[in-house]
Amino acid sequence: MASSAEADFRTRIQDWLPKIVLAPSFAVTLLFVYGFILFTVFLSFTGSKMLPNYTLVGWENYSKLWALENWHIAIVNIGIFASLYIVICTVLGLMLAIFLDQKIRGEGVLRPIYLYPMALSFIVTGTAWKWFLDPGIGLEHVMHLWGWESFSFTWIKDNNMAIYTIVLAAVWQTSGFVMAMFLAGLRGIDNEILKAAQIDGASSFQLYRRIVIPMLRPAFLSSFVILSHLAIKSYDLVIALTGGGPGRATEMPATFMYSYTFTRNQMGIGAASAVIMLMTIAAIMVPYLYAELKEKQ
Amino acid sequence: MSAVSQDTAVNTGRITRAFIYLLLLLFALFYLLPLYVMVVNSLKPLSEVTGGNMMALPQTWTLEAWKSAWSTAQIGVSPTGLEPYFLNSILMVVPAVALSTVIGALNGYVLTKWRFRFDTIVFGLMLFSCFIPFQIVLIPMAMVLGKLGLAGTVPGLVLVHVVYGIGFTTLYYRNYYATFPTELVRAAQIDGAGFFRIFWRILLPISGPITVVSVIWQFTNIWNDFLFGVSFGGTSQPMTAALNNLVQSSTGVKEYNVHFAGAIIAALPTLFVYIVAGRYFVRGLMAGSVKG
């Protein structure tokens, strides 16, 4: 009897073991991700300043947030940055991928060169571009030394143009990765289809426009999702490249959230801005992930 | 990186091809330029950077900037150089990568070979956690780390990176194990092998490639992280936060050559991984993004 009870106990443990193994990760995710999200949402409805404070103030933080000049700048900037960054990365990535796919000699050398910036930290990228774009020692200075005296490139110091330097550095960092995604998509297309279209008399341009590019739809979708997600989260690059300046000219939601929460002692408003960032990303990611998971089943 | 190039059906003329090569080379220059600028200027004395041409090779080659960046440069309030922060990063990265990878492997194993009701929901919740903007967890995380006495310590950073890293590692192993025939696991089960024995003897031996992908991904991400480092690093800040301190310091003369040397030092570990295992790096990027 004892031994059969023991065997019974062992099978029961075996049955439960997988769940026991998974449970800590799931609990940690529930607490540190979803619990924390709920807590931040809660804070966004409280009068928290330097420290959390649990008196509810309703929508006050949200109405204050949307009335703030800095938040407006941040929203306009993320709009400019995200749209340019996504469009340029996609166009550049697609172009480089199509060109690299033309039986290019030296592809094995070029591809890693296009992609290596992805291995760097945004802080390193920001440092490199910060000094390269600095008029005093960087590109402008070099052009002057090379004899082009009237050359002027002061975007990084210019309130209206500084945001574009962030686009430039971000494109430099991630466009190679988008190229790699499109290249993988191109290599997955059946050559027979292309040959058949060519026999039917399609020109190369038509071939790409009518057949190849539409077949790359999944790659377009994934790169859009990844790039928009990277754009909304972008914090490091702004800090390293412009520090949000000149003035507040390159303020973004991520830098706004950090400064209001940790340096300006407006935790309630900081939390509200984080909630808006989350909602924006969720609006893009949730349908995408849902479709992906659904497809797998 | 393998250079397998497929036959393309498209025929291109001579001039078009010349144009394509030209463009591809121009973009190669564009991607290499910042790296060139960093390396060249880190090997010059400061006077040559400020008074000379950024694109020119050094007239006097010197490692002074590197030495200064590593051991004497002013970081924040003390002239320690980047060395202690480099060590912080190592002490943070090694356990964080190891723990998150092991946990991810076990989770992937359970989620594919020991499926249960609602497992897709569990996985979906873990998967979404990879994509949240971390700003949403900064405030409560700071409070919890403070309560645990881990604020401003390396173990605190390890905890943060493990917690927010297991989503990705679970995703990698789940997708990888999903292609492994479940019948083999069932057969082993009938032969009396238990949960861990099956993992150890059957799944683990085939996990080499995905483990390389997972380790590289985690290593790159954690090494390059700035937001958590600067928020929770305190006196144990990682390399990225220290580099930012070095570059942004507003006191004294801007030592551009030291900044460049520091940036390269911060980039070296991940660049090294990219050079020796680029193929796996790319695979990780793709697996983490293209298909969920």
All domains in chain B, ordered by first residue: 14-72 (no CATH), 83-287 (1.10.3720.10)
Residue pLDDT, tens place only, B40-49: 999 998 888 8
Axis crossing angle, helix B256-287 with helix A107-115, rounded to the nearest 10? 110
Q: Is A175 part of a structural domain of the chain? A: yes
State whether A96 and B260 contact (CB < 8 Å): no
A138 Cβ contact partners less than 8 Å away, ≥ 6 residues apart: A131, A132, B54
Q: Is A212 part of a structural domain of the chain? A: yes
- Which of helix, strand or coil describes residue A266? coil
Query: Residue B70 gets which letter from DSSP?
Result: I
In the prediction, which pLDDT does B38 show?
Answer: 93
Neighbours of A152 (CB within 10 A): 11
Q: How far is A167 from chain B (nearest CA, A)?
A: 15
Q: Is A55 part of a structural domain of the chain? A: no
pLDDT at B177 over 90: yes
By Cβ distance, the residue of B21, B32, B270 closest to A119 is: B270
State whether A34 and B21 contact (CB < 8 Å): no
Q: Considering only CA atoms, which of A130, A186, A92, A233 is closest in space to residue B130? A: A233
Largest CA distance in chain B: 77
Q: Is A4 part of a structural domain of the chain? A: no
State whether A36 and B266 contact (CB < 8 Å): no
pLDDT at B283 over 80: no
In the prediction, which pLDDT does A296 show?
Answer: 60
Q: Considering only CA atoms, which of A40, A297, A251 is closest in space to residue B142? A: A40
Q: What is the mean pLDDT of chain B?
A: 88
In the prediction, which pLDDT does B53 show?
Answer: 87
Domain that holds residue A291: 64-296
Distance CA B9, CA A189 (A): 11
State whether B290 and A218 contact (CB < 8 Å): yes
Structurally, chain A folds into a number of domains equal to 1
DSSP labels for B54-65? TTSPPSS---HH
The DSSP H or E segment spanning A288 is helix A267-296
Query: Residue range B150-156: average pLDDT?
Result: 93
- Which of helix, strand or coil describes residue B164? coil
Reported confidence tier of residue B239, pLDDT bands at 50, 70, 90: very high
- Which of helix, strand or coil describes residue B75? strand
Reported confidence tier of residue B10, pLDDT bands at 50, 70, 90: low
Token pair 């799944």: residue: B203
Q: Is A30 part of a structural domain of the chain? A: no
Residue pLDDT, tens place only, A73-113: 999 999 999 999 999 999 999 999 999 998 888 888 999 99
**What's A172's domain CATH number?**
1.10.3720.10
Reported confidence tier of residue A168, pLDDT bands at 50, 70, 90: very high
Find out whether A22 and B110 touch, Cβ atoms under 8 Å: yes
Cα A280–chain centre separation = 12
Token pair 């919890």: residue: B144
In the prediction, which pLDDT does A190 show?
Answer: 82
Distance CA A238, CA A245 (A): 9
Q: How far is B270 from chain A (nearest CA, A)?
A: 6
By Cβ distance, the residue of A100, A120, A235 closest to B24 is: A100
